[in-house]
């Protein structure tokens, strides 16, 4: 009897094992290559060994193989394989269809995993493509939740792209990507429309949906930088220039241009926000008048005024204008001893506390506060009696160890606080002016309707904080961007109440715990074993 025609039992066990082992090696090589390819010679070695074993098996078992491949078995075998592949294909299609057409039922009590109707509506009307990337370090506890939230968004709109495998990134593992998007903080989400990007620092539905709204806006708003009086210029890359700020604005979808008011009879209509980045010389009365009427018809202004650096220095004229808006800009320099602790000169005060305002709300994350610094600043505070219809809120405050030294007392560049007479901290370095609630429009107008003239302005007692030299420091850049965003804000930004998973506790005393332990860990399994033993004993008797 020739060896090849024997049944399976007669085949040498070793020969029989060659085939599957060879196949296994090949499979391992394939798997490895797909996941994280090792060095080519390792991969090649394993694959090669697998192929070798398969070949060896085929040769040694050739008679048997011939029999299998030739006869009836082959025909039925191929049929089977084809049928299997067809079924697999159909199932694949069914699953693919299931993904597109499926329905998601959120069974949590607070609908934690469903999106609010506002978000759903925004996603439904989304037209352009948006791509989200989430930068969360591996140990960040918010990682899963943020990823789940983004996945929900992606599930609801074909235009919102987020895939956990590619777009949930650890910034430490992919630093180039983090740098490309200018990600500085752990827990940042970038929503990219291709032409502009929105940065989300807090992974809540409200922030994310608003970012979607902002990122998908097609009309560009223009921010106009006042020039001609020594202000920080948007194209100036020097230390006191505003090039970085301008670039940051452009990446958020704004158009930036310069504005020479002297040549204009009025602020051009496309300027949504006018920025006066620290004028050093006085403005002409004509220019002040143009700005006044700009604000009166609803124009938004960001005014940054540096303190006079010596006694007797003239005002720019904007001080009087903002006073009409209810803002008192002090003629002083703020000195903060706290800054010494951080290695800074005391004339570079740090903001240690913020008001409760949209502009500053994401500078506070729970207990942590993001600092901002203002090199050479003056106080900016609400006037004692506010003009009707306006409210002025403090944005940024220094510590209690600060003093406001009147400029008139500065002699020879030396600033010395007089604790007995000088105004003491905490001192306000910036305010936001808005319509008082009573006069604010009652309801948001329909999308697309012209906006009512709601006055808004932001005034800071320092321009250098957002200049090129200081823009990237701590929270400075964010403060500037938030201010412009708030000023440029449209009505279709929404507020969504966050859904918190309800607190749900257990109350058990030690006795109950012990009872539980004995019941679940001892009694239950014990009962099972006992019934097993009883069954076995019963059968033994048979």
Partner 1 sequence: MRNVWSIARREFRSYFVSPIAYVVLALFLLLAGYFFFSILSFFNLQSMFMLRNPQMMQRLNVNDLVLRPLYVNLSVILLFLVPLLTMKLFADEQRLKTFELLLTSPVRLWEIVGGKYLAALLFWFLMLACTLLYPAALFHYGNPEAGPVVSTYVGFALLGAAYLSVGLLFSSTTENQIIAGVVSFAVLLLFWVLDWASQVAGPPVSTVLQQLSLTEHYRDFTKGVVDTQHLVFFFSFIFFGLFLTHRVLDSRRWR
> Interface with partner 1 by CB under 8 A: which residues?
31, 34-36, 72-73, 76-77, 80, 83-84, 87-88, 91, 94-95, 98-99, 101-109, 112-113, 148, 163-166, 500-508, 512-513, 516-517, 520-521, 524-526, 528-529, 531-533, 535-536, 539
Looking at the DSSP assignment, which residues form a beta bridge with residue 390? 435
d(CA 77, CA 79): 5
**Angstrom distance (rounded) from CA 16 to CA 9:** 10
Residue 523 is classified by DSSP as I
Whichever of 33 and 331 has its CB closer to partner 1, that residue is 33
Tell me how far, at minimum, the Cβ of 112 lies from partner 1, in Å.
7
Q: How far apart are CA 150 and CA 205, in angstroms?
A: 9
What single-letter DSSP state applies at residue 185?
S
Strand partners, 199: 190
In the bound complex, what is the minimum distance in angstroms from residue 5's beta carbon to partner 1? 15
* Distance of alpha carbon 392 from alpha carbon 404, whole angstroms: 20
Q: How far is the CB of 526 from partner 1 (least distance, A)?
A: 8
Contact 63, 2 (CB under 8 A): yes
CA distance linking residue 428 with residue 327, whole number of Å: 11
Instruction: Report the nearest approach of partner 1 to the CB of residue 79 (Å).
Output: 9
41 vs 536 by CB, closer to partner 1: 536
At 373, list the tokens: 């610094």
- Measured in degrees and rounded to the nearest 5, phi and psi for residue 260 equal -105, 95
Compare residues 343 and 510 and give the one whose CB is closer to partner 1: 510
b/e sequence 174-187, b meaning 16+ C-beta within 10 Å: eeebbeebebbebb
Select 135 or 374, whichever has its Cβ closest to partner 1: 135
Contact assessment for residue 347 and residue 404, using Cβ atoms and an 8 Å cutoff:
no
Task: Report DSSP state, residue 414.
Answer: B
- Smallest gap from residue 529 Cβ to partner 1 (A): 5
CB of 236 to partner 1, least distance (A): 41
Q: Which is nearer to partner 1, 14 or 533 (CB)?
A: 533
The smaller minimum CB distance to partner 1, of residues 79 and 439, is found at 79
Shortest distance, position 493 Cβ to partner 1, whole Å: 27
- Cβ nearer to partner 1, comparing 219 with 509: 509
For partner 1, the closer of residues 89 and 445 by Cβ is 89
Q: How far is the CB of 131 from partner 1 (least distance, A)?
A: 13
Closest to partner 1 by CB, 83 or 262: 83
Q: What tokens does 387 get?
A: 């003009």
Angle between helices 205-215 and 143-156 (to 10 degrees): 50
| Strand 271-277 versus strand 221-226 pairing type | parallel
Closest listed residue to residue 437, CA positions, set 493, 388, 492, 508: 388
Token code pair at residue 442: 């009652």
Cα distance between residue 169 and residue 177, in whole Å: 9
CA nearest to 350, candidates 264, 473, 526, 531: 473
Q: Shortest approach of partner 1 to residue 56 CB, angstroms? A: 23
Phi/psi of residue 277, nearest 5 degrees: -90, 70
Residue 29 or 321: the one with the smaller Cβ distance to partner 1 is 29
Cis omega before residue 133 (within 30°)? Answer: no
Beta carbon of residue 161, minimum distance to partner 1 (angstroms, whole number)? 12
Q: How far is the CB of 214 from partner 1 (least distance, A)?
A: 27
Rounded to a whole number of angstroms, the minimum distance from the CB of residue 105 to partner 1 is: 4
Location of structure tokens 């193989």: 65
Query: What gap in Å lies between CA 401 and CA 378, rounded to an integer?
Result: 15
CA triplet 414, 418, 424: central angle to 5 degrees? 115
* Closer of 80 and 345 to partner 1 (Cβ): 80
- Cβ proximity to partner 1: between 33 and 186 the closer is 33
Q: List the structure tokens of 432.
A: 């936001």
């Amino acid at each position: 009897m020739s060896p090849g025609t024997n049944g399976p039992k007669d085949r040498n066990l070793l020969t029989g094992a060659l085939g599957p082992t060879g196949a296994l090696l090949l499979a391992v090589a394939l798997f490895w290559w797909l996941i994280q390819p090792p060095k080519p010679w390792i991969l090649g070695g394993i694959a090669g060994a697998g192929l070798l074993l398969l070949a060896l098996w085929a040769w040694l078992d050739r008679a048997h193989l011939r029999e299998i491949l030739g006869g009836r078995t082959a025909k039925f075998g191929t049929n089977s394989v084809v049928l299997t592949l067809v079924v697999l294909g159909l199932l694949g299609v069914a699953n693919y269809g299931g993904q597109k057409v499926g329905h998601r039922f959120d069974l949590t009590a607070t609908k934690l995993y469903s999106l609010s109707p506002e978000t759903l509506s925004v996603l439904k009307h989304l037209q352009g493509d948006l791509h989200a990337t989430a930068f969360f370090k591996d140990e960040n506890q918010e990682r899963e939740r943020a990823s789940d939230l983004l996945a929900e968004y992606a599930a609801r709109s074909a235009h919102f792209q987020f895939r956990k495998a590619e777009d949930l990134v650890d910034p430490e593992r992919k630093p180039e990507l983090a740098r490309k998007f200018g990600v500085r903080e752990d827990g940042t989400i970038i929503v990219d429309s291709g032409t502009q990007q929105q940065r989300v620092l807090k992974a809540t539905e409200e922030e994310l949906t608003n970012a979607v709204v902002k990122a998908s806006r097609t009309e560009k708003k223009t921010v106009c930088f006042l020039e001609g009086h020594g202000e920080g210029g948007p194209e100036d890359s020097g230390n006191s220039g505003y090039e970085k700020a301008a670039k940051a604005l452009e990446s958020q979808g704004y158009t930036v241009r310069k504005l020479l008011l002297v040549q204009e009879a009025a602020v051009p209509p496309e300027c949504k926000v006018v920025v006066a980045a620290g004028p050093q010389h006085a403005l002409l009365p004509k220019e002040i008048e143009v700005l006044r009427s700009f604000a009166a018809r609803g124009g938004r202004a960001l005014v940054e005024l540096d303190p006079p650096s010596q006694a007797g220095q003239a005002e720019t004229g904007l001080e009087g204008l903002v006073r009409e808006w209810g803002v008192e800009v002090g003629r002083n320099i703020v000195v903060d001893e706290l800054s010494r602790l951080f290695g800074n000169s005391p004339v570079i005060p740090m903001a240690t506390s913020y008001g409760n305002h949209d502009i500053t709300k994401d500078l506070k994350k729970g207990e942590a506060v993001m600092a901002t610094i203002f090199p050479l600043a003056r106080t900016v505070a609400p006037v004692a009696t506010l003009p009707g219809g306006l409210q002025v809120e403090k944005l940024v405050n220094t510590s209690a160890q600060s003093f406001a030294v009147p400029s008139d007392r500065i002699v020879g560049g030396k600033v010395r606080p007089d604790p007995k007479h000088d105004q003491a901290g905490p001192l306000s370095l910036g305010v936001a002016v808005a319509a008082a609630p009573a006069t604010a429009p009652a309801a948001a107008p329909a999308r697309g309707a012209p906006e009512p003239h709601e006055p808004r302005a932001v005034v800071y007692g320092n321009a250098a904080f957002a200049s090129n030299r200081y823009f990237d420091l701590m929270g400075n850049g964010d403060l500037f961007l938030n201010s412009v965003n708030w000023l440029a804000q449209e009505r279709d930004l929404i507020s969504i109440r966050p859904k918190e998973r309800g607190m749900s506790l257990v109350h058990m005393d030690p006795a109950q715990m012990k009872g539980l332990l004995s019941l679940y860990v001892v009694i239950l399994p014990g009962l099972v074993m006992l019934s097993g033993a009883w069954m076995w004993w019963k059968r033994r008797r048979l």
